[in-house]
Amino acid sequence: MIDKTLKQLSQALAAGEISSVELARLYLDRIARLDPRINAYITVDPEKTLAQARAADARRAEGQAGPLTGIPLAQKDIFCAEGWPTTCGSRMLGNFVSPYDAAVIERCNAAGAVILGKTNMDEFAMGSSNETSHFGPVRNPWDTGRVPGGSSGGSAAAVAAGLAPAATGTDTGGSIRQPAAMCNLTGLKPTYGVVSRYGMIAYASSLDQGGPLARSAEDCALLLNVMAGFDARDSTSLDRPAEDYARDLEKPLAGLRIGLPREFFGDGCDAGVMRCVEDALAEYRKLGAETVEVGLPNMKLAVPAYYVIAPAEASSNLSRYDGVRYGYRAPAYADLNDMYARTRAQGFGDEVKRRILIGTYVLSHGYYDAYYLQAQRIRRLIAEDFAAAFEQCDVIMGPTSPSTAFRLGEKASDPVQMYLSDIYTIAVNLAGLPGMAVPAGFADGLPVGLQLIGGYFSEARLLNAAHRYQQATDWHLRRPAGLD
């Protein structure tokens, strides 16, 4: 059962080959046995999980089952779930138990899915390696001495290690796609506004977007069908007709125009990664697609623009964590101001403090125009570059990450090198576009991900392109050794 897709698991449940309770126990047993080596989960509550599984079995017995009814899912610990600790990987929220469900959790619950647990993540989603978590780093199942990518590294590692069949993640600058690439998974960041951010703890509100992490494009489509939808409680949620993201999976790729940005194929990418990307593009040509060269001239400014905009929004969003209302409070202090200072100094980790300081600086009087407004102008130019490129092509492809998974601690002392891990993904978030990472081979025994970028609301097209590639290759079927 561990190697089955979501669709296959749904069929097995429907055929009575296994019950939801039995399936949940299977995964809970694996988590208990294997997760100490991976650290993919922050919270596991078998009692809650099995109660949901029993409810799913009852629902199926009444003939009310949907495609995900009874399917166990891992939920990133950035999504509030009623009665579950929701920590966001931080000491600041280490004792917070959510009194309500995030929209994504609501929609998964309504579909009959079962929560296996809350997955580890970079603190407040700030990081590219899952090393900033207060609960310790997550280890990549392909090599436990290496990072799984971040910030959704716990979700990615859980699926890669067979500790969940699929998981939710969030992507602010590549935090679904980069860990998917490093863990040999398929990950999708939807168009901004397609998935509600209600109950998703905010990092950078204009960039954050929830999405699925799974083994295949088909599984991502099934999960996105559940996650997506308008939510009046989220002012950035888009009121659009519901769509079936799996509708075009089998569509032939003949005539598909693939854009290859000059900026993606220059210096800065490992030779092994680029070789896998080139091989993937050759496979697409065999499938009937054609490639054209396009330009994204302002992409070189994406990283600096992002690290002005995202910290600015983070400094505002994280100002609510003051020790007064909920979360951590310093045990000893002299007065109110001292309580604020001690609480935030003790409750936040180094990377979060660094970004709060940067964000406060760029929003301060005298620097707002010089930094924040300029970054927003660059953001608009990047979006215009993509719009011009999509006049010449249907899908843009290239590397997801400039390297395979790096060793734990390798970049921890060099924030700039860590930030550059997202050099190929950040522009997609700045423009609000959908993007995917798809397994595309191995370099030195470590997974490589191909990135697919589409125009607004082109998720079905991206999933189609990814699915047809996966039908022609078997990279997404490879599993890490030693986790039986």
Which residues form the catalytic set? Answer: 76, 151, 175
d(Cα 135, Cα 120) in Å, to the nearest integer?
A: 7
Both tokens of 484, joined, read: 């039986």
d(Cα 252, Cα 472) in Å, to the nearest integer?
A: 12
Q: What is the DSSP letter of 387?
A: H
Reduced to 3 states, what is the DSSP secondary structure of residue 212? strand
d(Cα 280, Cα 289) in Å, to the nearest integer?
A: 12
Q: Read off φ and ψ for residue 97, nearest 5 degrees.
A: -110, 120
Q: Bridge-partner residues for 273, per DSSP?
A: none
Burial class (CB in 10 A: 0-12, 13-18, 19+), 62: exposed
Put the strands of the sheet holding 210-214 in their side by side order: 41-43, 114-119, 72-76, 167-170, 210-214, 186-189, 435-443, 446-454, 395-399, 257-261, 290-294
Angle between the 6-14 and 217-227 helix axes, to the nearest 10 degrees?
A: 70
Given a contact cutoff of 8 angstroms between Cβ atoms, the answer to whether 21 and 50 are in contact is: yes
* DSSP string over 57-92: HHHHHTT---TTTT-EEEEETTB--TTSB--TT-GG
Reduced to 3 states, what is the DSSP secondary structure of residue 282? helix
Both tokens of 98, joined, read: 């959510």
Residues 6+ apart with CB under 8 A from 158: 35, 38, 40, 41, 74, 116, 119, 164, 167
